[in-house]
Amino acid sequence: MTTFTFDKLVIFGVGLIGGSLARALRERSGAASGGRIVGVGRSRASAERARELGVVDDVAALDRDDELRAALDGADLVLIAAPVAQTGPLLERIAPFLSDAAIVTDAGSTKSDVVAAARAALGDRIARFVPAHPIAGRESSGVEAALPDLYVGRNVVVCPLPENRPQDIARIDALWRATGAQVSTMSHEQHDRVFASVSHLPHLLSFALVERILGAPDAALKFSFAAGGFRDFTRIAASNPEMWRDVCLANREALVDELDGYTAVLARLRAAIVAGDGAELEAVFARSREARSQWQERGGRASGDTAPK
């Protein structure tokens, strides 16, 4: 690992994700050198906690032009670490104060919508925006939950735009590698298809199972006999409703495609059950078990989810 060098990193939203990045750069031995880290919150008070904890050096309020100008003055790196729906408004707010030297990146769990919002907000300065998605989370949120090692061994997906300069992409790549993460690159369309499939759809399906049981006249009886399989299957139904509402809407195109493909598999299994086709059921189940076991043996993803809870 080579040391990552920066002058000034401005983080919009110093919660679990932004705070952990700041702590990784500061506290991981040899990760980064030099540079001030500024935290910007909706209000000064919301960022102040991050400074009290030593996560950032300075703070600024989003609604104060003078503070925002000072925060971004001399910044070579800007991270948007806020809910994806806020990416557009935030970039619009920041744009007038951005220097030409600054590379802007984000940490949103969907990318096509973020890219569209960034294009609208930044116009012909879109080249400076390098989208990314660190795949890490914890059950707790907020800057108090931030950890210097949150990203160690985790995946970060960078989704370069055609307009991005290679050196800017390389810089975001280096930023995340400095946290101990593994960095991959794919298009934002592919990113959204992949995560619709392995993260967004499972969350939707898990919420839907609980909703289905809730709608039954004997819901209480059913819950009282739910056991280990239900527990594992619905663990992600304990996720944040606002966040998953936003993810479902932000990634609606890829998610609806995945949902339709999944519904087609269910229809195939239903037909096999009705027809008493045990061979078909066993073939599907055996194939799934084998693939799941291989995934597990390859190390799966030991922990962390596609987004903070």
Give dist(CA 57, CA 171) in Å, integer.
Answer: 22
> Does 285 participate in binding a second copy (rule CB under 8 A)?
yes
Q: How is residue 3 annotated by DSSP?
A: P
Binder of a second copy out of 123, 166, 225, 297 (CB under 8 A): 225
Give dist(CA 84, CA 236) in Å, integer.
Answer: 19
Q: How far is the CB of 34 from a second copy (least distance, A)?
A: 33
- 43: helix, strand or coil: coil
Binder of a second copy out of 37, 293, 297, 308 (CB under 8 A): 293
> Does 121 participate in binding a second copy (rule CB under 8 A)?
no
Binder of a second copy out of 100, 124, 218, 297 (CB under 8 A): 218
Q: How far is the CB of 264 from a second copy (least distance, A)?
A: 8
φ and ψ at 157, to 5 degrees?
-105, 125
Q: How far is the CB of 107 from a second copy (least distance, A)?
A: 15
> Does 199 participate in binding a second copy (rule CB under 8 A)?
yes
Q: How far is the CB of 243 from a second copy (least distance, A)?
A: 9
Considering the complex, state which of residue 100 and residue 242 has its C-beta at the smaller distance from a second copy: 242
Q: What is the DSSP string of 63-93?
A: T-HHHHHHHHTT-SEEEE-S-GGGHHHHHHH
* Six token digits for residue 44: 């000064």
User: How many residues belong to the site for a second copy (CB under 8 A)?
Assistant: 92
Residues 6+ apart with CB under 8 A from 103: 76, 77, 78, 128, 130, 168, 171, 172
Assign residue 52 a region (left: φ > 0; alpha: ψ between -120 and 50; beta: otherwise): alpha
Considering the complex, state which of residue 170 and residue 198 has its C-beta at the smaller distance from a second copy: 198
Binder of a second copy out of 37, 210, 297, 308 (CB under 8 A): 210
> Does 89 participate in binding a second copy (rule CB under 8 A)?
no
Residues 262-281, interacting with a second copy (CB under 8 A): 262-263, 265-266, 269-270, 273-274, 276, 278, 281
Distances (CA, A) of 206 to 195, 200, 229, 238: 15, 10, 12, 9
> Does 165 participate in binding a second copy (rule CB under 8 A)?
no
Residues 23-82, interacting with a second copy (CB under 8 A): none
Binder of a second copy out of 71, 78, 236, 308 (CB under 8 A): 236
Residues 6+ apart with CB under 8 A from 259: 201, 204
Query: Could you tell me the sign of the dihedral formed by the alpha carbons of 261, 263, 269, 275, in that order?
Result: negative
Give dist(CA 66, CA 76) in Å, integer.
Answer: 19
Q: How far is the CB of 5 from a second copy (least distance, A)?
A: 29
> Does 238 participate in binding a second copy (rule CB under 8 A)?
yes
Q: How far is the CB of 88 from a second copy (least distance, A)?
A: 15
Residues 133-162, interacting with a second copy (CB under 8 A): 135, 137, 155, 157
- Per DSSP (E only), the strands in 181-274 are 182-185
